[in-house]
A and B are shown apart, each in its own frame.
Chain A
Amino acid sequence: MKPFAYVKPADVEAALRAVATEPGAKFLGGGTNLVDLMREGVERPDTVIDVTGLPLDAVDDLPDGGLRIGALVRNSVLAADPRIRARYPMLSQALLAGASPQLRNMATVGGNLLQRTRCAYFYDAAAACNKREPGAGCDALDGFTRGHAVLGVSGSCIAAHPSDMCVALAALDAVVEVRSVRGDRRIPIGEFHLLPGDTPQNETALAPDELITAVELPALPVAARSRYRKVRDRASYAFALVSVAAALEVRDGAVAGVRLALGGVGAKPWRARAAEEALLGGAADEAAFRRAAEAELAAATVRPGNAFKTALATATIAATLRELAREEDAG
């Protein structure tokens, strides 16, 4: 690992001042992604600012029934929070589907938002990667693409976003609160992660001097009946081939409310708006669920190694919505 200076500020203002004066600095949370990438030589910061001493680890109720989650809340703690489990079960389930218990005990919410792709070519210093080294090319395009994205990809990069948590946040219209010495900003989750385009090295809307301080979940009654379903190569502790975060409200046999987001298939956590539009107001039956899924996957750009994902995603979306509809019937 490349040597670096280590700073552990005790308050947010000190952390913001530190990063403002050290352009090459990186914030360190639980370390589960950054330390790994530093050991691989993919990340090479001169200064590491350890933010785990900052008082950003509370989950607070908002007046409208939403929740404000501090950026340093650990993934395991958030998954177990009774308010998350009751009001946003898809988020608790997404967190519990991610990584391993040890990693969830370490990983923070802010760090999860910033985790980088697990594309093997991104990790491999001997491979060409536009994300790691802009302009270098992309060995994934004609490589082993089983884990790669089919939505939102470009000719420069087909890396999939690895987070489970962010898929639920996309479905829930979360808002990311960030702060710098220049002031505060609120970034809707849909604008937080960027599509690769010609600049896959730019992954988020966060400026280098901005610190994530919290994630806000707006009140969303439909989310009380929601779930996260993850399909992967083994039963546990693997990244998603396809995952689905879904919430569904059915009234008189018709879809009265729906939230749908996908993981494992998108260059960023993928809000399935085309599918939502197709579903809203229509019949809540199997044929409609499949048609909506197909509407979303129509935009897919596949390669031989990941072409199976369109069919897998379509089936997983339909199955998840079917289960939710059945729960509604059961009351």
Chain B
Amino acid sequence: MSGGTDPQQADGPGGPRDHARPAADRGSHRNGVLLASGVTSNSGRTVLPELRMKVNGSPESLDVEPWAGLLDTLRDKLGLTGPKKGCEQGACGACTVLVDGVRIVSCLALAVQYDGREITTVEGADHPLREAFVRHDGLQCGYCTPGQICSAIGMLSEYAAGMPSSVAAEGLTDDEIRERMSGNLCRCGAYNGILDAIADVAARDAR
């Protein structure tokens, strides 16, 4: 399933898609600064190296400023509007994505820091949790849902890998799920449905 745009249709199959702006439009605020992995052009302007990431399974080649956030890059350059901008200060979790399978908040991530990494957003997260959230009414307005689902996928992997939590219960109890999902806020208060959806999928995993 693909939410929103499907770049594959726009650009066709094949090698990395180039989202870079025209060369004439490139440049840096600081003339002549040589970036560690960049080059200084004839005009003395810094030309940024291409950022290469695999996003939801597709190789992407991007031209981004160093100060571009990962969240903005996913949404504005790749049209992946699943990850949401809630607080933009790491407090709400609506922007949660998976990097090489590990959950992070993409609002506090600079895109340049994730060169060479594999990013998964809710659009690419082919996981039973998506259906479970619908079945258990794990949402009202839905704004936090993409972050909740990506976070829950990361959480179940962490739990399976033996990552401890401050609850330290035997098994993935409701208290454990609540603690391990505490980085994702839901202002509609759909927590009971979210909890049920995650517990349901976790129980199926355990069988």
Q: Which of A30-45 contact B (CB under 8 A)?
A: 31-32, 35-36, 38-39
| Interface 0/1 of A94-128, CB less than 8 Å to B | 00110111110110000000000000000000000
Smallest CB–CB gap between B27 and chain A, Å?
Answer: 11
Q: Which residues of A contact B105 (CB under 8 A)?
A: 32, 100, 102-103, 106
Contact B108 A5 (CB under 8 A): no
Report the separation of the CA atoms of residues A76 and B103 in the bound assembly, to the nearest whole angstrom: 11
Contact B113 A28 (CB under 8 A): yes
Contact B151 A102 (CB under 8 A): yes
Q: Which residues of B contact A85 (CB under 8 A)?
A: 164
B109 within 8 A of A: yes
Main secondary structure of the interface of B (DSSP, over half): loop
Contact B30 A5 (CB under 8 A): yes
Q: Which residues of A contact B30 (CB under 8 A)?
A: 3, 5, 46
| Interface 0/1 of A77-93, CB less than 8 Å to B | 00110000100000011
Q: Which residues of B contact A32 (CB under 8 A)?
A: 90, 105, 108
Contact A48 B66 (CB under 8 A): yes
| Interface 0/1 of B54-69, CB less than 8 Å to A | 0000000000011101
A219 within 8 A of B: no
* A-B pairs under 8 A by CB, number: 116
Q: Which of B69, B164, B179 contacts A79 (CB 8 A)?
A: B164
Smallest CB–CB gap between A16 and chain B, Å?
Answer: 13
- The interface centre, meaning the residue of B28, B35, B109, B182 with most chain A CB atoms within 10 A of its CB, is B182
Q: Which residues of B contact A50 (CB under 8 A)?
A: 110, 112-113
| Interface 0/1 of A9-23, CB less than 8 Å to B | 110001000100000
Sort chain A's interface into a size bin: 35 or more
Known A-B contacts A8-B36, A93-B166; A31 and B109 likewise in contact (beta carbons under 8 Å): yes
Smallest CB–CB gap between B132 and chain A, Å?
Answer: 20
Q: Which residues of A contact B35 (CB under 8 A)?
A: 5-7
Smallest CB–CB gap between A62 and chain B, Å?
Answer: 23
Contact A31 B36 (CB under 8 A): no
Report the separation of the CA atoms of residues A28 and B105 in the bound assembly, to the nearest whole angstrom: 16
B183 within 8 A of A: yes
Contact B180 A101 (CB under 8 A): yes
Q: Which of B89, B113, B154 contacts A39 (CB 8 A)?
A: B89
Report the separation of the CA atoms of residues A39 and B113 in the bound assembly, to the nearest whole angstrom: 16
A312 within 8 A of B: no
Binding site for A on B (CB under 8 A): 28-30, 33, 35-37, 46, 65-67, 69, 88-90, 93, 96, 102-105, 108-110, 112-113, 151, 154-155, 158, 162-166, 178-180, 182-184
If A28-B110, A52-B113 are given as contacts, then 4 extra A-B residue pairs at C-beta distance below 8 Å, sorted by A number, are A4-B29, A39-B89, A101-B154, A106-B105
